[in-house]
């Protein structure tokens, strides 16, 4: 039997296992096997991944691991870390792991000119970053009037915003930061106006994060802030108040940013994987260099685990396989992420880009339609906020939505009672999704409370929870910079594993391009008096209505 038929057989086996009678039952599996928490969990250091509250049983787990082996996941893993051009549509490596490596790790990336030492390149750029951060923090790098910087504004979008924003909030929320950080992404002028209204230009450092220095939203915002600095402090002040995270030195120079304020990275760094690079300069400026280094160290630690651990004990692989089970065997099209830590309130948004931009594809590596369903819709909020919004649907809705719960045992504050309440809610939500509440239990509870039989008959159905709703729990000791690095890298590798198993390219993002191109064609038609060009009838009508509402028809 050839490898292709073996792979096809493993997929078919998973579908067959999910079609067994009672295959979606989870409570019954605990009744039959009280040792499930030990058998269906794995740990790396203090990080525990518990997937026992899913419908995966012994046969299903064997089938999922067989899929990983049949798909030659180990070969993909080796090619990934060898710097092969796994981004096949753009002919690039995906060597973001080198960004958090040590210079001596000698991770290489394939380029059109041959292999280059990605670890050494990243270490060199990191040294430049460290020197700049130290200068800003000690005041030797300051604003045009001599004032020390107290705020850093990161101007970027997508991967140049979501990752740095998420990590900066996580690392500064509890105890504050060295600098205050603001993030400007949306081209809507409201955000820029708020920054210019609220901040002191003399004490504001602005980072423009755009690899090409041509991203429309980013450059529109950057030009607005440049005018603010120039109008407030004079044109000569621009060079003192800006730095660039870019590779387009000519455009950066034209903008007015000096070469020693430019921090670059190679094309083997994808935007949504780039917070470890100079794109993360805002993290280091706001949180401090030591936390930034600890973040890198945590990512490096997860890289080593993913690279070497057997699949049965490998957290990224297991997390990916749980998702494969839910999407491809069970047919679930959504995935919720609930981090029971307010510092991770932007983590679901970060994962939305990481997962859906990476694996939201319908064309396979062979250029043909994907052979299976791919990425689910990712959404989430911090617990306990989510309990008072969309958890209603997750508990009692018509569609089953698997949940990832994330919880730290030790808080980063001095309110232990509040943290116990938080933890109790996290554990209770997962237990409630598992256990549910039967009609008989609801009726007995209502009778014990003295509710009339008529009201019981009317109300009881609305208080029934079916249960058997799947969840995984990621439990760590505490959420510090090292653990955050581990957590981010865990999901990065999960995404790469799933992309390989679905046979899509996790490292390109052509789907973001079409809307950008069309926007450039629509923009001239929004000008007063302009002729409306060739568009579909709905778009043409909306352009006319838009201009009419502005009095510019």
Structure letter (DSSP) for residue 360 = -
388 belongs to the catalytic site: yes
410, 453, 516, 552: the catalytic one is 516
553 pLDDT more than 90:
no
User: What pLDDT, in 10s, does the model give residues 426-465?
Assistant: 999 999 999 999 999 999 999 999 999 999 999 999 999 9
**Residue percentage of the chain with pLDDT more than 90:** 96
pLDDT of residue 513: 86
pLDDT of residue 5: 76
Q: For residue 358, what are the contacts with CB-CB under 8 A and spacing of at least 6? A: 272, 375, 495, 496, 499, 506, 507, 509
pLDDT of residue 6: 82
Structure letter (DSSP) for residue 509 = -
> Long-range contact list for 418-423, CB < 8 A, 24+ apart?
422/340, 422/341, 422/383, 422/384, 423/340
Structure letter (DSSP) for residue 362 = S
| Average per-residue pLDDT for the chain | 96
508: Cα within 13 Å, side-chain hemisphere:
18
What pTM was estimated for this model as a whole? 0.96
User: What pLDDT, in 10s, does the model give residues 191-227?
Assistant: 999 999 999 999 999 999 999 999 999 999 999 999 9
142 pLDDT more than 50:
yes
pLDDT of residue 516: 87
- Cβ(400)–Cβ(332) below 8 Å: yes
- How far is 105 from 301, CA to CA, in rounded Å? 13
User: What pLDDT, in 10s, does the model give residues 472-528?
Assistant: 999 999 999 999 999 999 999 999 999 999 999 999 999 988 888 999 999 999 999
358 pLDDT more than 50:
yes
- Residue 491 corresponds to which tokens in the numbers above? 């999901």
- How far is 480 from 477, CA to CA, in rounded Å? 9
- How far is 476 from 444, CA to CA, in rounded Å? 38
175, 388, 462, 513: the catalytic one is 388
Q: For residue 394, what are the contacts with CB-CB under 8 A and spacing of at least 6? A: 336, 401, 403, 433, 469
Helix (H, G, I), strand (E, B) or coil at 504: coil
- How far is 132 from 119, CA to CA, in rounded Å? 20
90 belongs to the catalytic site: no
pLDDT of residue 226: 98
Q: Indicate the helix (H) or strand (E) that contains 474.
A: strand 471-478
357, 381, 443, 492: the catalytic one is 357
pLDDT of residue 10: 95
3-state secondary structure 364-427: CCCCCECCCCCCCEEEEEECCHHHHCCHHHHHHCCCCCCEEEEEEEECCCCCHHHHHHHHHHHH
pLDDT of residue 1: 47
- How far is 346 from 170, CA to CA, in rounded Å? 9
- How far is 460 from 56, CA to CA, in rounded Å? 31
293 belongs to the catalytic site: no
291 pLDDT more than 60:
yes
User: DSSP labels for 143-199?
Assistant: -TTSPPP-EEEEE--GGGTHHHHHHHHHHHTTT--SSEEEEE--SSHHHHHHHHHHS
How many Cβ atoms are within 10 Å of 85's Cβ, its own excluded?
A: 17
Strand partners, 258: none
pLDDT of residue 2: 62
């Amino acid at each position: 039997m050839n490898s292709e038929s073996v792979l096809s057989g493993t997929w078919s086996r998973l579908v067959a296992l999910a079609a067994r009678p009672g295959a979606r039952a989870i409570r019954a599996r605990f009744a039959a096997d009280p040792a499930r928490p030990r058998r269906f969990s794995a740990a790396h250091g203090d990080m525990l991944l518990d997937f026992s509250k899913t419908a995966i049983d012994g046969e299903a787990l064997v089938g999922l691991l067989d899929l990983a082996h049949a798909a030659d996941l180990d070969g993909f893993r080796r090619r990934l870390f060898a710097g092969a051009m796994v981004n096949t549509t753009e002919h690039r490596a995906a060597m973001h792991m080198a960004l958090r490596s040590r210079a001596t790790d000698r991770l290489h990336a394939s380029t059109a000119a041959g292999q280059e030492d990605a670890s050494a390149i990243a270490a060199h750029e990191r040294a430049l970053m460290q020197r700049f951060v130290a200068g800003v923090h000690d005041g030797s790098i300051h604003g045009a009037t001599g004032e020390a910087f107290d705020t850093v504004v990161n101007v970027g979008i997508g991967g140049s915003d979501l990752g740095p924003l998420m990590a900066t909030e996580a690392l500064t929320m509890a105890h504050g930061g060295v600098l205050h950080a603001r993030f400007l992404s949306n081209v809507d002028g409201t955000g820029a106006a708020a920054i210019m209204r609220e901040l002191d230009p003399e004490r504001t450092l602005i980072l423009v994060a755009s690899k090409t220095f041509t991203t429309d939203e980013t450059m529109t915002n950057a030009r607005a802030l440049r005018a603010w600095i120039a109008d407030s402090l004079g044109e000569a002040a621009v060079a003192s108040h800006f730095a660039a995270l870019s590779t387009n030195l000519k455009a950066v120079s034209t903008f007015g940013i000096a070469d020693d304020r430019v921090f670059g990275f190679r094309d083997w760094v994808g935007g949504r994987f780039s917070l470890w690079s100079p794109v993360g300069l805002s993290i280091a400026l706001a949180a401090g260099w030591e936390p930034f280094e600890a973040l890198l160290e945590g990512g490096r630690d997860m890289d080593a685990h993913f690279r070497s651990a057997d699949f049965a004990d490998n957290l990224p692989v297991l997390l990916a396989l749980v998702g494969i089970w839910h999407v491809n065997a069970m047919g679930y099209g959504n995935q919720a992420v609930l981090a029971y830590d307010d510092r991770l309130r932007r983590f679901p948004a970060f994962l939305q880009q990481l997962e859906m931009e990476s694996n939201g594809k319908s064309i396979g590596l062979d250029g043909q339609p994907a052979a299976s369903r791919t990425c689910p819709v990712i959404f989430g909020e911090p617990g306990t906020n989510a309990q008072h919004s969309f958890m209603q649907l997750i508990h009692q809705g018509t569609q089953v939505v698997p949940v990832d719960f994330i919880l730290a045992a030790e808080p980063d504050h001095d309110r232990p009672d509040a943290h116990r309440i938080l933890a109790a809610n996290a554990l209770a939500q997962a237990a409630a999704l598992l256990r549910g509440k039967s009609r008989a239990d609801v009726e007995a509870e209502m009778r014990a409370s003295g509710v009339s039989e008529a009201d019981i008959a009317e109300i009881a159905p609305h208080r029934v929870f079916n249960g058997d709703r799947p969840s995984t729990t990621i439990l760590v000791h505490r959420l510090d910079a090292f653990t955050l690095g581990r957590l981010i890298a865990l999901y990065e590798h999960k995404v790469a594993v799933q992309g390989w198993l679905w046979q899509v390219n996790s490292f390109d993002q052509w789907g973001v391009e079409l809307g950008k191109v069309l926007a450039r064609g629509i923009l001239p038609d929004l000008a007063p008096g302009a002729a409306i060009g060739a568009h579909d009838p709905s778009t043409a009508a909306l352009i006319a209505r838009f201009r009419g509402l502005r009095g510019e028809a």
